[in-house]
Structure 1
């Protein structure tokens, strides 16, 4: 029996390593083998792409859009029709199996060089196979890396499943040669933004509809819209999905099956690039030369394993209640699509194999925030064992690069072979050192934050419950004295705690995507799970859990987000009276202004909380305030860039005060200072980070 089993933990069930056979057999023979996919839905004989494109251009919707645009712009129909032909030519895929075979060969060779394993939940995939024949299937995978783009095609090719047609951004069009190979592998290219362009909307809607019904392929769409630079789930984008689901609403087809897919990585290829982008540096343009240079460098690195898991099919007809005799009005339909898209994100979270290094990164940031530079392996494993317990309660588990090895052996592998740029494991004294110094501390901390986020967003109920229930005299005495019984650290939410929990859950709704209206169940579940962990010590584990340290870590894990939102509110409150300056503020430029504010206010403490400088975090805070009415959307004059105006300064002031109270409290508890609550000074008009007055 493995150590993992002895400790009562089971690693991720994704036990089929599709990379293992590639290490012992000929890649060319595998890629060029006779390949027949399992049956897939099609209305009539599948059409080739030329027929589909012709049908799109001749469709009633596109013909109507051509006439409308010609009339609005004062042009001939033929001129606008030529524009429509150019759009469909730019957009459409040109699927050929030989291109997939070629990519299969290349990905096999790259995969063996970069990764230890690619784990796939084959058992779940086999359960889903029969659904591909009944109705059209839409793959909705997570999006964490460029690797996602062809990974699913590689999995489908391996298991002889129908290969998907993939929605891709126009960024790839700059990659000479590669763009055409992607197109022949099933990619169709969509502009990032096309606003109110009625011609483009008509073409993309018709193209997607006809490809789904008559194309003979599943369709793959990244519902988050773009790669998640932060490592967390992004709020779903529903534009293209809405067009697809209209096919069921209008009864063109009886149903569509949505398949959420969760993909995670021990190490993200773009980890350094993401850190720079989140700090505000422009994203490099995709190019073939850039890709080749990157591959040469990547070839010298180790990236651990990849984990692919599948949710269950979601029937559009059943979920949206479209099987009734009565039509569904636009408002109800739109709400149903939004709810379904959130459910897809939740399915991603429920089926993700959590990267094990995310636990290491979370602990590292906690220690760094307290001025420490290393931790013993024993202490690290104590934290990770605690995280594992909390994940297990949610039905989740860490991904193990080596499933037959123990938890600590897997951690040591990641420390010594995969993440050597961020941590150093000294085997002699069994200490883990954090590779953060003056030369690289900003980028290194942003990279650690990227990995930490992949755990924290799944533990938010425990983090928030630990935070909002902590303000009591008894815990301050415990922290000051250093002595605590396990019962003293139990969580007992009262009505005030529940209100605070609900407030922060809603405030961070863009940051941590979740189902709304279940806050009471969440905090009670978190309390019950935590109390079970605290009160029932596990004597079977090799690594004992220290509940006080674990709770400290859970609270500090949210500090970068609290600081970022506090900094944004503080920056807004420093602006002139919005009634005197109603000029819209550009969201992107304002995020950089918030970064400057935080650097000024935190000073030397900034080195402990670099994660708070994430522009993604600033953008989410703006969107949260827009959703709650504190801000209002507006276009920036001249550029037309997305912006906002202040709508309710009282709401922003309240947000700042609430965040400041808990930032102050975290410092109070973790500095082990016993100070009565009434001696804590917080001036809501101050622009300084809240401090405890001793």
Structure 2
């Protein structure tokens, strides 16, 4: 396809017709998703037994008999629905040369161990060349190989998907469509342009016997259901879906396995046989051109934004191609967006520290009871597919041009990381911003308690324009007034999230559950992350008050703070790859063009920026645009500050040596959440969503990478990971035993704090300093009394300390040289 600019592609895609997938005999093509006729089609197309028993029976019979398109006969892809498919797949996996070799190697290793330990007889142990010794070894090796193959056969049977009955698939499609369109009453929508392109790519791949690897984002269990429905209805071969075996519970597990799920363990550990078996199965699927689906983020995002890529299964797919065992596969990044995500309430409970319940049939059925709610629609968007082989060749070509040649391990790690973040970037490129995300974002980026309806509509229109200007896409409005779109979004969000103040001259709305609404706000932040970081850096001067000239910031100071923040959030957000200087230059130009900032340049060289400040126009309109960008990033800045302040709890009590002071990681993070809740209710933390387990974990991960904390992890899963502060980050105590507000850790927290939202309780820095330090120290004392791990510290802790020391020699987060 000819290359086009992102904004042009976005505009073209937004104007392309939508296809709505319903339970009708036809796929509905319409100019946009939000129109009266399409909604009625989606709702009324579903025959209900009570209201129309004859139509209901007719629909069921058509699906059972496979009439028309329901037969699923003319499928683009490799044949999978035939008796014996599962057994054939098992046979191919078990004959995989890599698996056969691994079984032999493990058997040889075991025979050698048994011989060395004298379990095969004294003669064998001493290596005496008596007749019968080699025969005894051979028989034992065969016995072990047979045993291992039996284990492989059982594991393979439990793992592989078993899509071999078209009648079952037809029934599963009908059931899934009935359930999904009851929950999402406006249906599942795709872009006609993207679907036509995907079908063309699929047809070409099928001829070459190449697999399409669908890599969707993951926000809900509905993700894989919607993709399977789309593939079925549009005549594409259903992909095998990589799924965690936590969903493999009675009844539901077997159903999903026959509908396309392949079950894998959540953790492979050091099980070499299982690792090889997974690789063998993926090789077999790709070698035979069977489509595959894997969630690049691993688990579901509990925060609404994309999570960093997980490289587990992705590495197996990459190795299949890079090794040459598979010629090529086609990568297709997929974005799935919802007006409302069914599981959000449970996500909030988890983020606030409640343990994630184990999946079971009872919870599955109870969660399905909400499928009668009207949750709006699902929008699925497909990025232009691309060759994985071509990607690998291009990256390896770049590696060959580097000044320093990378070894195989470094090349593989860089290749995998680049692949993961490219897929996430592609997903962001095609993501559609839903009306609920627009409304939720507006409500959480206003200074007032509430907002009038007319102002809400105006800001939604403004935000829609900004999304498009950033190359993003907004869900189709079909020419409907924004007021109607806003009303529908408010209806879907419901009074539990957005409240209405009664008895006022104008309808006034306010955020009831800010934490839950933040899930929808986070669906837009990736579009504005650069503007948000620059605004947060500029805010360090704006918050000082005074005349406009006193609120400006030098370019050097701005750049340093943007660099610091981008380094701090490198695991939270996906930044453009052009580097700090280029990204900063473009962002300043954009903000200047929008008349949000005013830039003063060197009189002798217009390319050199000297000062940055708010424009007069932005001040005149109450800083609403500047504030919008700040409000987007402030909760994350708060969370990072909380993470830094919580490290003060790790200051060892008086008389205890730092090197012998380890605490359970889980305990520390749990107590950090309690500290955050306390700071929020006492007014020292502005955002309750900052008390977020997921963001806190990411923050601690960054601290570990930069050598601020040392983490010791045992190979034994029953032994908890332990944590302590690195020596150079340890705060000191005064004569009274209190933690001092000095040293690198306190300076680091203060560096974050200067970009935090100003609050009335924080204007007196000395008071806050005393209060926060005292609280952190007090909570830390209780933590030490309840969870000191000095007695259980092992050699792994020493190893962690040594590795962290090497990392600290390479990275200094407090004085970063980062790239956006």
Distance 1:234 1:458 in 2: 15
Q: Which residue of 1 aligns with 2:7?
A: none
5 Å matches for 1:422-501?
A: 422-425=497-500, 429-434=505-510, 436=512, 444-472=513-541, 476-477=545-546, 494-501=555-562
Q: Deviations over 1:616-660 (max 9, x none)?
A: 011100111222232344215862344544336449965753553
Match of 1:540 in 2: none
1:18 aligns with 21
Compared with structure 1, are the counterparts of its residues 582 and 672 closer, same or farther at alpha carbon in structure 2 (3 Å cutoff)? closer
Deviations 1:599-630 (A, max 9, x none): 23343327851101110011100111222232
| Aligned residues of 2:531 and 2:587 also touching (Cα < 8 A) | yes
Closer, same or farther: CA 672–552 of 1 in aligned 2, 3 Å? farther
**Which residue of the partner structure matches residue 440 of structure 1?**
none
Query: CA deviation digits over 1:83-137, x for unaligned, max 9?
Result: 2222112111101333332222122222332221321012112113232233321
CA–CA distance in structure 2, aligned partners of residues 581 and 164 of structure 1? 51
- The answer to which of 18-27 and 284-293 deviates more is 18-27
2:229 maps to 1:154: yes
Q: Which moves more between the two structures, 599-608 or 273-282?
A: 599-608
Deviation of the 1:534 alpha carbon = 2.8
Structure-to-structure mapping, 1:227-626, within 5 angstroms = 227-299=300-372, 301-321=373-393, 329-367=408-446, 373-400=449-476, 402-425=477-500, 429-434=505-510, 436=512, 444-472=513-541, 476-477=545-546, 494-515=555-576, 518-534=579-595, 546=621, 548-577=623-652, 580-582=658-660, 584-605=662-683, 608-626=686-704
Which range moves more in the overlay, 228-237 or 402-411?
A: 402-411
- What secondary structure does 1:36 align onto? coil
Q: CA deviation at 1:393?
A: 2.1
How does the TM-score come out when normalised to structure 1?
Answer: 0.84
The whole-number CA distance in structure 1 between the counterparts of 2:536 and 2:730 is: 22
Q: Is the 8 A contact 1:322 1:328 kept in 2?
A: no
- Whether 1:165 and 2:240 are equivalent positions in the alignment is yes
1:237, distance to aligned residue in structure 2 (A): 1.0
Bigger shift: residues 378-387 or 407-416: 378-387
**Contact 2:216/2:334, CA 8 A, preserved across alignment:** yes
Indicate how the Cα distance of structure 1 residues 597 and 671 shifts in structure 2: closer, same or farther if over 3 A, else same: closer
**Deviation of the 1:358 alpha carbon:** 2.4
In the alignment, is the contact (CA less than 8 A) between 1:461 and 1:526 conserved in 2? Answer: yes
- Partners of 1:491 and 1:94 in 2: CA distance: 64
2:750 counterpart of 1:660: yes
Q: 1:607 to 1:565 in 2, by over 3 A?
A: closer
Q: Contact conserved, 2:684 with 2:768, CA < 8 A, in 1?
A: no
Superposed CA deviations along residues 32-56 of structure 1, whole A, max 9, x for unmatched, are 323234433699x999332222232
Distance 1:461 1:253, change over 3 A: same
Corresponding residue for 1:35? 72
Q: Deviations over 1:407-442 (max 9, x none)?
A: 332112111344332113468643343363xxxxxx
TM-score by length of 2: 0.72
CA distance in structure 2 between the aligned counterparts of 1:129 and 1:108, rounded to whole angstroms: 21
Alignment equivalent of 2:199, drawn from 106, 129, 137: 129
State the structure with more CA Rg. 2
Q: Give, in whole Å, the separation in 2 of the partners of 1:682 and 1:530.
A: 34
**3-state SS, counterpart of residue 546 of structure 2:** helix
Flag the 1:311–1:642 CA change in 2: closer, same or farther, 3 A: farther
1:65 maps to what in 2? 102
Residue pair 1:245, 1:256 contacting (<8 A) in 2 also: no
Query: How far has the Cα of 1:664 moved from its partner?
Result: 4.8
Runs of at least 5 residues in structure 2 that lack an aligned partner in the other structure: 1-10, 23-37, 48-58, 115-142, 401-405, 598-619, 732-742, 777-820
Alignment CA distance shift 1:25-1:463 (3 Å): same
- TM-superposed CA distance for 1:189, in Å, is 0.3
TM-superposed deviation, 1:312: 1.8
Query: Which structure exhibits the higher relative contact order, with contacts defined as CA atoms closer than 8 Å and separated by 6 or more residues?
Result: 1
Of the structure 1 ranges 305-314 and 552-561, higher mean CA displacement relative to structure 2 is found in: 552-561
Structure 1 residue 83 corresponds to structure 2 residue 157: no
Equivalents in 1 of 2:528, 2:625: separation in Å? 12
Name whichever of 448-457 and 181-190 sits farther off.
448-457
Residue range with higher mean Cα deviation, 608-617 or 656-665? 656-665
Structure 1 residues 576 and 246, CA, compared in 2 at 3 Å: closer, same or farther? same
1:92 maps to what in 2? 160
User: 1:336 and 1:250 mapped to 2: Cα distance?
Assistant: 13
Q: Distance in 1 between matches of 2:715 and 2:96?
A: 37
- How many residues get paired? 649
Counterparts in 2 of 1:568 and 1:309: CA distance versus 1, 3 Å: same
* Separation in structure 2 between the aligned mates of residue 328 and residue 255 of structure 1, nearest angstrom: 24
| Aligned residue in 1 for 2:253 | 179
Q: 1:381 to 1:475 in 2, by over 3 A?
A: farther
Change (3 A) 1:404 1:317: same
Distance in 1 (alpha carbons) for counterparts of 2:591 and 2:308: 28
Give CA deviations for 1:490-549 in whole Å, capped at 9, x if unaligned. 99871321222122112111111334562333333332222333369xxxxxxxx95612
Gap runs ≥5 in structure 1:
1-7, 437-443, 479-483, 537-544
